[in-house]
Chains A and B, each alone.
Chain A
Amino acid sequence: MNAALQATLEFWKLYWAPLLCGVAVVAILPLIVGYIVLVERKIMADMQARLGPMRVGPHGLLQPIADAVKLLIKEDIIPENADKLVFWLAPVLSVGAGLLSLAGLAIGPAFQIAEDVNIGILFVVGISALGIFGIVLGGWASNSHYSLMGALRSSAQLVSYETAAGMALVSALLFTGSLNIKSIVEAQSKEGIWFVLLAPAAFFTYLVASIAETNRAPFDLPEAESELVAGYMTEFSGFRWSLYFLAEYTNMIVVASVATTLFLGGWLRPFSGVSWLNFLDFAPPLLLIAIGAYCVLRVTKQPTRVQQLFMLAVAGLCFVVALVLAAPVVLPVIKPSLREALAPFYAGIHGGFWFIFKVSLYIYFFMWLRFTMPRYRFDQLMRLGWHFLIPLSIINVLLVGVALIVGAYFHLQGWGLLLVTTPAAILALVAAFLILAVEKQHDARQDQTAASDFYAG
């Protein structure tokens, strides 16, 4: 007993900070996801020229909380012929994998739960890929045809697109020579150019593959409501269903963070190495002050007293965050001797802002696509994955490697590397399109002789 106590104490002493951070993330994330859903509904409403949720709180700001309460008190149904244990396990697995992979991410140089992990980005990608078991086992355990079809489609889709995504990551990692998240961002800061410009073909591949991996429209075939009711989550209700929902949005955050870290410069400000652009540091606080001022202006338009107060509270929150963001950039202007002391605060707070900003842009792009693109057919999805993205990513790895060798030979660095990497990306795209055209011709010839059945993947 004594030994066990000792081990527990030792464990606590070493790991209390990451443990507390982990608990905080698990506690806060559902709220964040709820608000991402609200934003998504608002954006959808805007794109469809309507208002979206308006009743709960001003402009529907309390809608996520109402939704959460509704989901929690809904009846929990387990189908009679379901495999009860697996049915119980599947949603937990799905959401657990997503949450665990968040541990490896770095939101700014100061915020990382598992600090300085040697395998960094591989940890995030590898663990989040385990979430597929939640989908597959959930679909199987429900003992329903719609669910099983959804699960089959999902696993086929994930296996197909994971190769392309992995290869895209490899071509970006060729520039850093390290898997550690901090070194990846530092490499982009040292080169003075983000990898999205150095490896555009890889970024494009990762963008498409990440949409497919998170089962988002236009690749949301595992849950295509016009064909499969709700795919793998047809039989799930209430809290279990909301766990799947949470997992989907957590995965979106994870893929967006991976793309941000690897391609979009992580927590770096745009042009962080250019000193005459340092005035960009004032952009984040000014942005928040503008949002707060807009909220104050809109107060009189709110119909009830409570909603007016709520609007003021939102404005106040914006001003407080603006103050926090402004402190490390405004104080050194007033008193230059403070610059040294405030540097870590500047790095942490502004790093966090830019990271979250870029992740939000990436997620916004996902939503934009969802409301503008029609859903793919399953054989089109498979063709895009196998005949275009995988060849593109493999050729791209090869050509980026060649470009790096040529660049090293001519001592190219930073923006100069564009001279060799841009031709490499163009060549890779041309080659991939050629392969796609050849395969299409081949398929067309086969289709003439026999009607082929792609359906089951």
Chain B
Amino acid sequence: MLDKVLFYFFAGIAVASAALMVTRRNVVHSAIFLITALLATAGIFLQLRAEFLFIVQIILYVGGIMVLFVFVIMLVNLDVALQQIQFARQKWVALIVALALAGQIGVMFWTSGKMPGQGLPVLTAVAANRLPLNSEAVAKNLFDSYLLPFEIASVLLLVAMIGAVVMAKKRA
């Protein structure tokens, strides 16, 4: 019961602030609502006893990326930006893509559990005290089963970082 209440609490905050983030005209307000959405998602991770994902979500997305976002936003002259048209004009394309995505997700929900091997996987519940320690479990998966993808991803990020530095240096 408590789990359900917590889930709907965090999920409600996440959905509501995501909607508010898209509709606000003021960019800083949008950023604040994006932060709330990310924090609420972190809350859902915590409610699922995935503590490591919870704190990584907060440190990386909220504490790292969003700080840089807000930093850049503050350098923009907001009075000028507010007078410009902020919303992209591909309304119809966006609508079609969004509907297609919604349909896809709907089918996923609809078919899950009806036929084996289709839709969302149904996980069996485990008592909280018998779960493996979260950070250890993540580390084991990351550096054992998924070592190669992990290394490739980190090399990719490194390349992007070096690329950004090179481009910034050239201009100066």
- Residues of A whose CB lies within 8 Å of any CB of B are 3-4, 6-7, 10-11, 14, 83, 85-86, 89, 117-119, 122-123, 125-127, 129-130, 132-133, 136-137, 139-141, 148, 151-152, 155-156, 158-159, 162, 179
Other than the given A118-B52, A119-B134, 14 more pairs (CB < 8 A) read: A4-B5, A14-B2, A117-B51, A118-B133, A118-B134, A119-B52, A119-B54, A119-B135, A129-B59, A132-B67, A155-B67, A155-B71, A159-B71, A162-B64
29 A–B contacts, CB within 8 A, in A order: A7-B5, A86-B29, A118-B51, A118-B133, A118-B135, A119-B55, A119-B134, A122-B55, A126-B59, A126-B63, A127-B58, A129-B59, A130-B62, A133-B35, A133-B66, A133-B67, A136-B67, A136-B70, A137-B32, A137-B70, A139-B74, A140-B74, A148-B74, A156-B71, A158-B67, A159-B64, A159-B68, A159-B71, A162-B63
Residues of A within 8 A of B1 (CB): 3, 6-7, 10
Q: Which of B2, B63, B75, B133 contacts A11 (CB 8 A)?
A: B2
Chain B residues with Cβ below 8 Å from A7 are 1-2, 4-5
- How far is it, in angstroms, between the C-alpha of A86 and the C-alpha of B31 when the chains are bound? 11
Which of B's residues lie within 8 Å of A, judged by CB? Answer: 1-2, 4-5, 26, 28-29, 32, 35, 51-52, 54-55, 58-59, 62-64, 66-68, 70-71, 74-75, 133-135
Q: Which residues of B contact A158 (CB under 8 A)?
A: 67
Q: Is the CB of B59 within 8 A of A83?
A: no
A122 nearest CB neighbor, chain B only? B55
Distance A126 CA – B68 CA, assembled complex (angstroms): 16
The docked-state distance in angstroms from the alpha carbon of A125 to that of B58 is 10
Grouping DSSP codes into helix (H, G, I), strand (E, B) and loop, the B interface class, with mixed when no group exceeds half, is: helix
* B residues in contact with A136, CB < 8 Å: 67, 70-71, 74
A216 to chain B, nearest CB (A): 19
Contact of A119 among B4, B51, B67, B74 (CB under 8 A): B51
Contacts of B51 in A (CB 8 A): 117-119, 123
**Given the complex, which residues of B lie within 8 Å of A159, measured CB to CB?**
64, 67-68, 71
Give the complex CA separation of A127 and B68 in angstroms. 17
Complex contacts, A148 vs chain B, CB 8 Å: 74
- Pair A10/B2 contact, Cβ less than 8 Å: yes
A136-B71 Cα distance, complex, nearest whole Å: 8
**What residues of B have a CB within 8 angstroms of the CB of A156 in the complex?**
71
CB pair B59 A137 closer than 8 Å: no
Q: How far is the CB of A231 from chain B (nearest CB, A)?
A: 14
Q: For residue A132, which residue of chain B has the nearest CB?
A: B67
Whole-angstrom distance between the alpha carbons of A122 and B66 in the complex?
Answer: 18
Q: In the complex, A139 Cα to B70 Cα: how many Å? A: 11
A165 to chain B, nearest CB (A): 12
From A89, A117, A129, A139, give the contact of B63 (CB < 8 A): A129
A123 neighbours in B (Cβ, 8 Å):
51, 55
Of the candidates A6, A118, A129, the one having the most CB atoms from chain B within 10 angstroms of its own CB is: A118
Question: In whole Å, how far is A405's beta carbon from the nearest beta carbon of chain B?
Answer: 16
B64 neighbours in A (Cβ, 8 Å): 159, 162
Using Cβ atoms and an 8 Å threshold, which residues of chain B touch A140?
28, 70, 74
Contacts of B70 in A (CB 8 A): 133, 136-137, 140, 155
Cβ B55 vs Cβ A126 within 8 A: yes
* Interchain nearest-CB distance for B25 vs A (Å): 12
B29–A126 touching, CB < 8 Å: no
For the complex, what is the distance from the CA of A156 to the CA of B4, rounded to whole Å? 40
Which residues of A sit under 8 angstroms from B63, Cβ to Cβ? 126, 129-130, 132, 162
Contacts of A4 in B (CB 8 A): 5
CB-nearest residue of chain A to B49: A118
* Cβ contacts under 8 Å, A86 to chain B: 28-29, 32
Are A83 and B28 touching (Cβ within 8 A)? yes
Alpha-carbon distance A123/B51, docked complex (angstroms): 9
Alpha-carbon gap, A343 to B13, bound state (A): 46
Q: B161 → chain A, closest Cβ, in Å? A: 12
CB-nearest residue of chain B relative to A6?
A: B1
**A129–B135 CA distance with the chains assembled, in angstroms:** 20
Q: How far is B29's CA from A9's CA once the two chains are assembled, in angstroms?
A: 36
Select from chain A the residue with minimum beta-carbon distance to B39.
A130
Q: Report how far A447 CA is from B63 CA in the complex, Å.
A: 34
A223: shortest Cβ distance to chain B, in Å? 17
Complex Cα gap A89–B29 (Å): 11
Cβ-closest 7 pairs across A and B: A126-B59, A129-B63, A119-B51, A122-B55, A155-B71, A7-B5, A7-B1
Q: How far is the CB of A354 from chain B (nearest CB, A)?
A: 28
Cα–Cα, bound, A127→B46 (Å): 14
- Chain B positions within 8 Å of A117 at CB level: 51
Shortest C-beta distance, B39 to chain A (Å), equals: 8
The answer for the CA separation of A85 and B28 in the assembled complex, in Å, is 11
By CB atoms of chain B within 10 A, which of A4, A85, A136, A159 has the most?
Answer: A136
A148 CA / B28 CA spacing, docked (Å): 13
Q: Which chain B residue shows the least CB distance to A151? A: B74
- With A and B bound together, what is the CA distance between A122 and B64 in angstroms? 14
